[in-house]
Each structure stands twice: as C-alpha cells, then as structure tokens.
Structure 1
Amino acid sequence: MTENGEEKREPPEEEGGHRAIENAVLLGFFVVLVAAGIWLLGTMADVRKAQDCAAQGRRNCATIDVPERTR
C-alpha cells in the first residue's frame, strides 16, 4: 500500500506466446521488405543498362525472345 491508502498495481505480464507471434510477423515483414528492395535494385540496374545502351545509339539493346517454330 502507498501512503494515501491505494494499492500499487503491477502491470500484467505479457504472455510469451503472443510476443513470439508478434516477433515472427515482424521478422516476416522485414524479410519481405528486404527481398522487395533487392528486386527493385536489380530491376533498376537492368533499366539503367538498357538506357545506357540506347543512349549510345545501339540498336540491339534489348533481347527479343522469339518462339521456336515447329513444323
């Protein structure tokens, strides 16, 4: 009890299971965020290469996928 007669209340302890689930969700979010960032950087590098090639006046900058002809 405190001086003015009120009881001091302890905050309820968090359950370990909920905390573990929250940590797993946050970890998953950050993994997806990092993977998206890596993908974005790779895509930006490919676009930069194509733009540099086109700026040099070359015609064969992008590969053209042609399906094979069957007889």
Structure 2
Amino acid sequence: MTDEGEEKPKPHEDEGSRAIENAVMLGFFAVLVAAGIWLLSTMADIRKVQDCAAQGRRNCGTIDAPVR
C-alpha cells in the first residue's frame, strides 16, 4: 500500500547554486533598473524637444559646444 497523502522530501539545494542564482537575479534587476533610467532620461529629452517645436521655435536640437 502506498500513502498518497505523504509528501516526498525535497532534495537539499546546494548553497553554491543558490548564491549563483541570487547573483544572476541581482544582475538582471540591475540591468533592468539601468534600462529604465536610460529610457526615462531619453523620454524627457524628447519631450523637451517636442515642447520647443510645439511653441514654433526653430533650432530646438541640442548644440554641442567645444570645450575650451
């Protein structure tokens, strides 16, 4: 007879693999946060240019001046 109500014990997880998984997840979230910050910054720059153009101004693009 088998006991269907009994749960089989789960195999013990290796501490080293758990640390690797945590490091991979930390890296993933760091990349995700960096991409989000970059996206928000780009959207803010585009909004500034669109606001400038909507006001009828010309030369709304950024001008890179050489450093003296």
* One-letter amino acid matched to 2:62: T
State percent identity of aligned pairs: 71
TM-score (norm 1): 0.75
In terms of Rg, which structure is larger? Answer: 1
In the TM superposition, structure 1's runs of 4+ consecutive aligned residues that sit over 3 Å from their partners are: none
- Give the AA of the match of 2:31: V
Partner of 2:18: 19
Aligned-pair RMSD on alpha carbons?
2.3
Q: Is residue 2:43 matched to residue 1:37?
A: no
Unaligned runs of 5+ in 1: 67-71
How far apart, CA to CA, are the structure 2 residues paired with 1:45 and 1:21?
Answer: 36
- Matching of residues 39-54 of structure 1 within 5 Å: 39-54=38-53
Counterpart amino acid of residue 32 in structure 1: V
> Can you list the C-alpha shifts for 1:9-66, whole angstroms capped at 9, x where unaligned?
5321100000000010001000000000000000000000000000001112113458
Report which structure shows greater RCO (CA 8 Å, sep ≥6). Answer: 2
